[in-house]
Structure 1
Amino acid sequence: MDNQLTKPETLIQWIVLAILALLIAIPLAIFGVQMVQASDPYVKNVVSLTGNPVQGKAIFQINCAGCHGLEADGLVGPSLQAIPKRKSRYGLIHQVISGETPPMPKFQPSPQEMADLLSYLESL
């Protein structure tokens, strides 16, 4: 007897369904991660504040420029020019406070300092 799953039409249908499932699952997973991040009290506080890019630049020059360069164009650490095009606000906050990407140290700015730093990074 002919096995139904070995027919080319059936295999193509399964492949199409698997691709569709991935196309649906990936955005849902990303949305879910952002929802969890957005529920963090620190993150919620940071994104609710208006940052001052001038203050953010000062914070950057004191804490970040040693690795990322005075103009955030890279040195030991990568360039941060146009970083908001590559990372979300949540991703940037997590990157700064987590210390999960050695050699970048864990940095715990106040919510206002973080909002200022984000404002500066978004102005690059």
Structure 2
Amino acid sequence: MDKQLSKPDAIIQQLILLAMAVLLTLMLGVFGIHRIRVSDPYIKSVLSISGNAAQGQAIFQMNCAGCHGWQGDGSVGPSLQGVSKHKSRYGLIHQVVSGETPPMPQFQPNTKEMADLLSYLETL
């Protein structure tokens, strides 16, 4: 009877160890991605500058408002209202400069312009 009880216990222990290994792998993966993002010179430079939201609004009006609306409330592109609440600063920078989400074009502002744009997006 003891052998029957120990076999399920061993399976449970193995499942717990497997779950812990998966969790550790995920945590290391997220940490690694974060470290890569933080080490990107462009992102480091953008995040080290204080952005000017008024300047960012002007940049937004010239480059983004045609699709996202004058107030960032959506038009052809999605609404950006509250975007900084569900997307990190790294995610916002990546979204703007990557052009990975068609039909959004790739946009390569200099670091000061990106800091200004980021400050404006955080006000929406």
Which TM-score band (shorter chain)? 0.7 to 0.9
Query: Is 1:53 aligned to 2:49, yes or no?
Result: no
In structure 2, the partner of 1:64 is: 64
- Which residue of the partner structure matches residue 29 of structure 1? 29
How far apart are residue 8 of structure 1 and its match?
A: 2.7
Q: CA RMSD in A?
A: 1.7
Q: Percent identity?
A: 62
Pairing 1:110–2:110 present: yes
Whole-angstrom distance in 2 between the partners of 1:55 and 1:31: 33
Structure 1: runs of 5+ lacking an equivalent: 1-6
Q: Quick check: 48-57 or 13-22, which moved more?
A: 13-22
Aligned to 1:79: 79
- Which structure has the greater CA radius of gyration? 2
Return the offset for 1:122. Answer: 1.0
Compute the TM-score of the two structures, normalised by the length of structure 1: 0.86
CA distance, structure 2, for counterparts of residue 120 and residue 57 of structure 1? 6
Structure 2 spans left out of the alignment, 5+ residues: 1-6
Q: Deviations over 1:30-77 (max 9, x none)?
A: 221121111111111111000001111111111111111111122222
Stretch moving more, 48-57 or 30-39: 30-39
User: Size of the alignment, in residue pairs?
Assistant: 119
Q: What TM-score, normalized to structure 2? A: 0.86
Partners of 1:77 and 1:10 in 2: CA distance? 53
